[in-house]
Structure 1
Amino acid sequence: MIAVALLLLPALGLLLYGMDRFEERLFRRPPARHAAGRHLRLVGGAGELPPRSPASPGRGRPARAGGEAPAA
């Protein structure tokens, strides 16, 4: 009887490990849809970006300070 218990012990350990990994994957929160394709991060960008003011430009390059024209 002890021999059977010792032979079953590794199998039960593997089963316990496998079920733990399965539960972690099953109950993990899904990633946000808007961040699904994002791989690059800003330097020190652990927080969120500040909200845009209504007067700030839309998408594209930010406006230059002082209204300078870009050098060509």
Structure 2
Amino acid sequence: MPTAKIRASTILSEFEQAQGELVGKAVVLTDGKAGTVEKIWLDEMHGLRISIAGHHGKWPVSTVKFAQPS
């Protein structure tokens, strides 16, 4: 398999794994918004971005803190 195709497959595989780990998790943004992750996207400028239930917009995953289990 050509190197570019292997890299693309690796990226997609990691994205799918991240999606499975993040969607449905409780999070708090650095600006205080909180909720559960609804969806994730890859963005060429910011990398991984998420949407949060009940809030409009997409945020870089770097602005997220995961809620600690009780």
TM-score w.r.t. the length of structure 2 is: 0.30
Bigger share in strand: 2
TM-score w.r.t. the length of structure 1 is: 0.29
Higher-Rg member (1/2): 1
